[in-house]
Structure 1
Amino acid sequence: MSAYQKSQMRNRLLSLIPEQEFQIVAAALAPIELGKGFVIVKPDEPIDYVYFPFTGIGSVVTVSPEGHKAEAGMFGREGFSPTPAGVGGTISIHEVLMQVEGDGLRIKREDLSHCLSACPVFSNLLARYIQAFGSQISFTALSNAVHSIDERLARWLLMCHDRVDGNEIALTHEFISLMLAVRRPSVTTALHVLEGLKLIRAERGRITIRDRQALEAFAGDAYGKPEEEYSRLIGNP
């Protein structure tokens, strides 16, 4: 008998599993604190555990052979990571780490493989999330190519806001610089632009969303399409 109940599941995917399958999956889950900077998996290394956050924000980071880094996508309570394990993969080519601390549940990769075989609805749910996450990655690549740093920052902050409670997000300039693959002075300038428009308030280690609707308008077509795809495939997060 699982120690968990579906009503306790603050992870969107786990909350959608049918009760019979939930009991199978939940029996293999264990609680985990996800501190800021916690490394879920290193690039090109075996996946030991798969994580289902309740709170916090994780980043999937692409790392070049020379060590250059850029964020490819982010996830939180709406998803899971590393996604290759959801289709039987055993290695992650990305680095996955927490950019905003939180907590959640994790499962051993081997146990997840058993659950995927035994739980067809759960397996299909993870596959649909992987498709939705792939759309996010593709639009990140598009945004990096065609949008200004101000618009990219607006998009990124909206995505972070989607994954936290309230309007405050614990983020440093250094981390934003890494995630957007730009120099820190560019981040500072972009934050000043958004502050000047009264869209956000930036303080040391913290950003507050002041006007969500106006921030979406500023981001324009940089934001929204992957979120629509998630809703289409899985439902409103």
Structure 2
Amino acid sequence: MSQAQHSSIRNRLLKALSQDDFALLQPHLQLITTELRQPLIPSNTPVKQLFFPEVGFSSITTQGSGGRVETGLIGREGLIGAWPILLGSDRTPHDQFVQNAGEMLVITTEALCAAISRSASLHKLLLRFIQVQITQTSQTAYVNASQTIDVRLARWLLMCHDRIDGDDIRITHDFLSLMLGTQRSSTTLAVQALEGHRLIKAQRGKITILDRETMEQVADDGYGLPEAEYARLIEGA
């Protein structure tokens, strides 16, 4: 299998690396095809591999007596599994799985840690990504605690839209309710509200974004902070 070339990489975090830092990772990157709901990082289990999404994205979820709720999304802007490894642990209490199928570049934890030990600039950039993830998680907590389901739905759809090509998001109402931590009936009403304003089109197993600009207005300050932090810390580095 030929090695991934920096010029053809779609993952934005890898593209932000210097040529020298990318060269440290390049021999260890293996392209894999992912499937919907495929487990990537099981909770409370040593992280053996990390994933740079090229196409598609993953969900980070937490499980409790009240059910499963999504606390984060990672797509081609980032690295799945990095949080515990970069902060000196070997596992996480959260599950991470494929939310939108596609392709990912996988690297072993051992290889990534060896590369980090050789490059302070690589380590610094990956830690900056962790700050972006912390910002996203904090923003999710803020939105879930203070905003209506319509705002939460608009924000979530925008975040998904950021991580795909095109305007079609593959999702069922049942699974959308799980990700938002709401009853299916409430999710359905929120979908119908956005559809009534011609912001989206809902079909069986699919939601199509029709008017992103107005969706951002609906999401208001619920959307944009982690995205701005990414631009500042990663793309502006």
Q: Tell me the TM-score range normalised by the shorter chain.
A: over 0.9
Residues 48-59 of structure 1: matches in 2 within 5 Å?
48-59=48-59
Aligned to 2:121: 121
Give me the whole-angstrom Cα distance separating, in 2, the residues matched to 1:122 and 1:34.
Answer: 26
How far is the alpha carbon of 1:212 from its aligned partner?
A: 0.5
Map of 1:147 onto structure 2: 147
Letter in 1 for 2:21: E
Identity in percent: 42
Count, aligned residues: 234
List per-residue Cα deviations over 1:164-222 (Å, max 9, x = no partner): 11111111112211110111111111100000010000101111100000111111111
Matches within 5 A, 1:91-106: 91-106=91-106
| Residue identity in the other structure for 1:78 | E
Q: CA separation in 2, counterparts of 1:87 and 1:114?
A: 15
Once the two structures are superposed, residues 34-54 of structure 1 have per-residue CA deviations (whole angstroms, 9 ceiling, x without a partner) of 211011111111111100000
2:70 alignment partner, SS class: strand
Q: What amino acid maps onto 1:226 in structure 2? A: P
For the 8 Å contact 1:50–1:85, the answer to whether it is kept is no
What TM-score, normalized to structure 2?
0.95
Structure 1: 5+ residue runs without aligned partners? none
TM-score normalised to structure 1 length: 0.95
The unaligned stretches of length 5 or more in structure 2 are none
Please tell me whether the aligned partners of residues 16 and 235 of structure 2 are also in contact (alpha carbons under 8 angstroms).
no
Cα distance per residue 1:62-84 (max 9 Å; x no partner): 122x4721111101000011122
Q: Does 1:69 find its partner at 2:68?
A: yes
SS at match of 1:179: helix
Give the stretch that moved more between structures: 82-91 or 33-42: 82-91
d(CA) in 2 for partners of 1:12 and 1:51? 13
Alpha-carbon distance in 1 for matches of 2:106, 2:89: 16
- The 8 Å contact of residues 3 and 29 in structure 2, kept in 1 or not, is answered as no
Tell me, in whole angstroms, the C-alpha distance in 1 between the residues paired with 2:4 and 2:102. 19
Provide the secondary structure at the position in 2 that maps to 1:45: coil
Aligned to 2:202: 202
Amino acid in structure 2 at the alignment position of 1:147: Q
1:79-104 alpha-carbon deviations (Å, 9 max, x no partner)? 01112223342111110011111111
